[in-house]
Amino acid sequence: MSERLPAHLDRPLQRRMLGYVAIIGVILIAFQIFRGDRPAPGPDRPNPDALDFSVAQDDAGPPLEPDEFRATEQPSAPLSSSEDSPADPQLDPALLERIRDNTLGIRHYEAEAFYAMLDHVRRIPPALVEQAALRDVLYVNLMTDPNKYRGKLVNVVGEMWRCYELPVGPNRYGFERLYEAWVFTGDSGTHPYRIVATQLGDGVRLGENQRTPVRLTGYFLKREGYETPGGLHVAPTILAKRITFHRLAQSAPPRDDLAPVMLGVVVAFGLILAVTLVAFAWSDRHAPPKRTLPPTLGPQVTASLEALEVRNVDQMLRELSERDRFGESPTPPLPQASSNGHRGRGEGGNLLDLPSQPRHEDG
């Protein structure tokens, strides 16, 4: 029984494996080229994972149910009459000095700034609010650099999942009703914004488990903590005048200039795969016979081979020459009979033609 060569010495198999590796390499390179890489964190885009978002809390409340969170009640302040409508959307920097990030809810020492900012934004003309709002401020910017954007007007466009009416105590700004909403945007992912507004626009309703598209513009207050069954989290808190219904624009169609490139890549992959499969099939069909190693002989076979008569080349050639000379039988013929009257082979007879009894001559 013959033994096959090891798999790693099989040349067709080596070529096939090399082809597979080449195809995988081309696919990985193309994936790296065409996939949408997220920009690396840099000076203008800090890394949120490098910051401390732990929430300071005074005491823990009762356990929360799944998919539930807790936000603290808003503080109250002494009653006061409303001032005239301001013309400047900029806030007094002294109003923001006592605001602290990563606290659970609004603390009592932050009450004045909380209500003052809500009162300020509701009395500014909407056109002026939109004009003064910062553009392209992302969730990550507010979470990683809150001091830079605190007290600034920002736009938020996304889906409102929950909306509640907040209990409001006596305050010097005359607020009787406030609304709290939790909004997810395209750049915030699974992390929400906490919105506190003085009004709800048409099409915006109270309730849970909704996906209402909304838009709002308000002041960024702080990075505020809230409680969930999974622990404490933080979210950017925005103070706005009104939450309005806003139908999200549909995604733009793919750019036409990329369509030929993508089609060419797909066709190239198909051709490479087809050529590789055809080459493998042709190689299997025209591959030479597998080389085999000689079998290993047992001791009994070796002993029997040693008992055989060994002939050298000269003896074999001499034997073949005699066969050609005398016919098929290697034994040479007998000599011819003498002249005593017996017939020999040369006279047309052979030994079998001799009589069985000798003939007697007459005297």
pLDDT in tens, 288-312: 666 665 666 677 777 777 777 777 7
Q: Is the pLDDT of residue 238 over 70?
A: yes
Q: Please state, for a pLDDT cut of 70, what percent of the chain lies above it.
A: 64
d(CA 202, CA 359): 152
Count of residues making up the chain: 363
With bands split at pLDDT 50, 70 and 90, how would you rate the model's confidence at 69?
A: very low
The alpha-carbon radius of gyration of the chain (Å, integer) is 51
**Per-residue pLDDT at 154:** 97
Amino acid at 241: K
pTM of the model: 0.53
Q: Which of 88-92, 211-215, 330-334 has the highest mean pLDDT?
A: 211-215
With bands split at pLDDT 50, 70 and 90, how would you rate the model's confidence at 86?
A: low
**Per-residue pLDDT at 254:** 47
Could you tell me which of 119, 130, 89, 128 has the C-alpha nearest to residue 246?
130
Report CA torsion sign: 163, 165, 167, 169: positive
Could you tell me which of 183, 139, 187 has the C-alpha nearest to residue 160?
183
- SS3 (DSSP) at 82: coil
Q: Which of 248-252, 264-268, 287-291, 341-345 has the highest mean pLDDT?
A: 264-268
How distant, in Å, are the alpha carbons of 110, 119, 322, 361 from that of 86? 22, 10, 134, 173
With bands split at pLDDT 50, 70 and 90, how would you rate the model's confidence at 262?
A: confident
Could you tell me which of 4, 18, 104, 24 has the C-alpha nearest to residue 283?
18
d(CA 146, CA 155): 15
Pairs from 163-166 (Cβ < 8 Å, separation ≥ 24): 163/200, 163/204, 163/205, 163/206, 163/207, 163/210, 163/212, 163/243, 164/206, 165/206, 166/73, 166/74, 166/196
**Per-residue pLDDT at 349:** 47
With bands split at pLDDT 50, 70 and 90, how would you rate the model's confidence at 345?
A: very low
Give the distance, in angstroms, between the CA of residue 155 and the centroid of all CA atoms in the same chain.
33
**Per-residue pLDDT at 45:** 44
Give the distance, in angstroms, between the CA of residue 201 and the centroid of all CA atoms in the same chain.
42
Amino acid at 243: I
Report CA torsion sign: 130, 135, 137, 142: negative
Q: What is the pLDDT of residues 18-50, one digit of tens each?
A: 777 777 877 777 777 666 544 444 334 444 455
| Pair 218, 242: CB distance under 8 Å | no
DSSP E strand boundaries for the chain: 3-4, 103-104, 153-166, 178-184, 193-200, 212-228, 231-245, 292-293
| Pair 114, 75: CB distance under 8 Å | yes
Q: What is the pLDDT of residues 245-255, one digit of tens each?
A: 998 666 555 45
